[in-house]
Amino acid sequence: MRRSRAEMKADLTKLADEVIDELLDWTADTPEPTLTQIEDIVLRLRQRLSERMALRVIEAQKAVRPVPGPQCPMCGKEMHYKDMKQDGVDSRVGYLPLERGYYYCETCHQGLFPLDRQLHVWDKHWSEQVARYAVWLSGLLEYEEAERVLNQIGQIPISDTSVWRRTQKWGEQFQAEETAQRAVATASPARGVPVAGEARDQPEKGVAMDGAQVHLRGEGWKELKVGCVFDIQLLPSEDPHTHEVLDLAHAVNNSYVAHLGGPETFGELVWAEARRRGWTRARDSEVLGDGAPWIWNLAHTHFFDSRQGVDWYHGTEHLAHAADLLHGEGTPAAHQWRKAQETPLFEGHADQIAARLLQATAVHPATADGLRREAGYFQNNQARMQYQELREDGFPIGSGMVESGCKQFRARFNGPGMRWSRPCLERLIPIRAAIMSRRFDQVWQAAYKSPPN
């Protein structure tokens, strides 16, 4: 069956001749073609040539029908040739009808195609790169839109259902990668214990956590916990508080993780990502969040020697709410009070604000409960509201980086009328996170290393 080099050359030359003739005939028959018409004919002819070129190369591989047969991956004995089987594979260069030998181990009752293993065809009818396109686009767009992009721009005929299936299959592998990384990170030395041979010589890093809502079929709106790990860099910018231009700390190289479920797994996931980012080598670090207690519990478990900061804007929102309770919603007095409290808040005197609010409960019995709640917020978070100090030490005080992360997850997950089955969404989350972290290709390579179970 295998062709000699001369036979291959003759075959391809013949096809190239035909293709060129067809182009010249078309030119003669098509007066004044538009560029679109020219593009269409050239792409069509090119595809025919591409398919044949790829096919001839594939046919020339020993793995089509190896003698002796391959070793059984289970028992190591030689596998026996059964028969030739044909299966089509859609690839970036077109449709490739593959004819290749099937081998079987009688002891283990296991069969395989040596050629598929060589070509890394782990997804039956799809080449690795087409599967990668489908999964990558699914992380960016709805499945039907991914289909349209692949059809129109990629000239790859794939249905939205097939795009969806690739995403389910490989999304599960993305999850497995994530789980493995999480296991490694949780088994490694605890935070704070110096890692042998590691110096704390890297720039400051930070982690920020928040939640976004996603709509699950049969469950309603559920919280997607989102974590962002970032490097800290000083850049000249306007201080939102004083409006001076100074070197302010910014989050850069943001990477994201997300989890649909409890804080425990999420915390391990964030910690695994922080470790991957070289957290243990950072000179210093910080954790940012709103006032949600689960965030600070996680900070205590995984990041106990990091600085902690309640997002500045959440802090001022609580000031605004307290001002409304004191002076009536939207009144000039409320505005004035809030403005006056911003400076003590910025300077780290949240405890004084709490005391003022508690005192005021005596003269505002109608809103006393609300005032006590706000006082509690400032009291409990006082140590995390050292804004001036954090800023002077070169740390960001706003958690915009994780809020942007939440927005990016919502942009894909919360389209009009979107309701997700939990497992489907769970497979898409690490894909989306890898894209947002600009490391999709890296995670893909790790996920696509062998046939999934």
- Which residues here bind Zn ion, judged by CB under 5 A? 72, 74-75, 105, 107-108
Amino acid at 157: P
Question: What's the rounded Cα separation, in Å, for the pair 111 and 114?
Answer: 10
Cβ distance 51 to 93 under 8 Å? yes
Q: What are the φ and ψ backbone dihedral angles of 139, each rounded to 5 degrees?
A: -75, -15
Of 72 and 121, nearer to Zn ion (C-beta) is 72
CA torsion, ordered 72, 78, 82, 86, to nearest 10 deg: 50
Minimum distance between the CB of residue 108 and Zn ion, rounded to whole angstroms? 3
Minimum distance between the CB of residue 100 and Zn ion, rounded to whole angstroms? 20
Beta strand spans in 242-384 (E) = 245-260, 285-289, 307-310
Minimum distance between the CB of residue 109 and Zn ion, rounded to whole angstroms? 8
Of 108 and 149, nearer to Zn ion (C-beta) is 108
Cβ distance 222 to 213 under 8 Å? yes
Question: What's the rounded Cα separation, in Å, for the pair 285 and 213?
Answer: 28
Minimum distance between the CB of residue 71 and Zn ion, rounded to whole angstroms? 8
Of 5 and 109, nearer to Zn ion (C-beta) is 109
- Map residue 419 onto helix, strand or coil: coil
Of 106 and 219, nearer to Zn ion (C-beta) is 106
Minimum distance between the CB of residue 69 and Zn ion, rounded to whole angstroms? 11
Contacts 24+ apart (CB under 8 A), 290-294: 290/210, 290/314, 290/399, 291/318, 291/377, 291/380, 291/381, 292/211, 294/263
Minimum distance between the CB of residue 73 and Zn ion, rounded to whole angstroms? 8
Of 152 and 453, nearer to Zn ion (C-beta) is 453
Of 107 and 159, nearer to Zn ion (C-beta) is 107
Of 105 and 436, nearer to Zn ion (C-beta) is 105
Question: What's the rounded Cα separation, in Å, for the pair 411 and 135?
Answer: 17
Minimum distance between the CB of residue 81 and Zn ion, rounded to whole angstroms? 15
